Amino acid sequence: MTDTTSSRPEIGRRVDANGIGTNYLEAGEGTPVVLVHGSGPGVSAYANWRLTIPDLAGEHRVLAPDMAGFGFSDKPGNYSMEGWVQQLDAFLTALQLDKVSLVGNSFGGGLALAFAARWPERVDKLVLMGSMGVTFPITEGLDRVWGYEASIENMRSVLDFFAFDRTLVNDELAELRFRASIEPGMQEAFSSMFPAPRQRWVESMTTPLEQIAALPHETLIIHGRDDRVIPLDNAWQLLQVINRAQLHVFGRCGHWTQIEHAKAFNNLLLGFLRS
């Protein structure tokens, strides 16, 4: 495990996770909570969770890794849900974390579900936000997100699918995310993950419903009513299948619950983790 000396907030510590050099952010003390980001272009743990980590760290030890191919973790190629599950397992093992609460956003929700189904004893509470993990016809938004080709115009178009409030998608944000998407190796890794036809990648991220139904965890499902990337129906499916689940739907909210309703999201998350 190493600390990375950098003035860039998206670069934190680094640990070997099953041969994958994994960049991760860490803050706070207390019961461990691991935040797993989504799969948009230019995404990183910092971009996804920058507004969540400070509030959560007041009560918990918060860890937010960059999954392989994203952010500042290694980009080994041959990406798959199995590989990401193994990386997350190795990440927790390297940090000697026997049991954690998992918070997964979108792709990260699908990853959290797959991990919890395989190692239920290693998960305390489960939070699924705008989550994948069940089958659905791919949306135009997700197809555009996964089909991103690097340019300012394309990044602005992709970001427009994420937010209900279009004022969040300003030129500064588009520029920042575009620059992140063209860091060395990032666009090459991203373009290799989800080539067309992309419905197959939705299916590859599903966990069988009977395995989801067997989950014993207290589960909080969060979704934006106006999400154009991952359909609200996913949340209803998960609510119906997971026995110990509750659902909170934010109106006037797209796929960026943790950004569009940051304070309410953080309070909801903290309350659930306390209960």
The residues annotated with a catalytic role in the active site are 106, 227, 255
Which residue shows structure tokens 């860490």? 26
Phi and psi torsions of 14, nearest 5°: -140, 135
The dihedral built from the CA positions of residue 51, 57, 59 and 63, taken in this order, carries a sign that is: positive
Q: How far apart are CA 155 and CA 87, in angstroms?
A: 28
Strand segments (E) across the chain? 2-3, 13-17, 20-27, 31-36, 60-65, 100-105, 123-129, 219-224, 245-250
- Indicate the SS3 state at residue 202: helix
Pairing of strands 2-3, 13-17: antiparallel
Q: Among candidates 193, 274, 220, 230, which has minimal Cα distance to 102?
A: 220
* H or E stretch at 177: helix 171-181
Residue type for position 69: G
Query: Measuring CA to CA, how many Å separate 137 from each of 161, 196, 231?
Result: 17, 14, 9
Q: How far apart are CA 124 and CA 255, in angstroms?
A: 25
Taking a C-beta distance cutoff of 8 angstroms, is the pair 177, 160 a contact? no
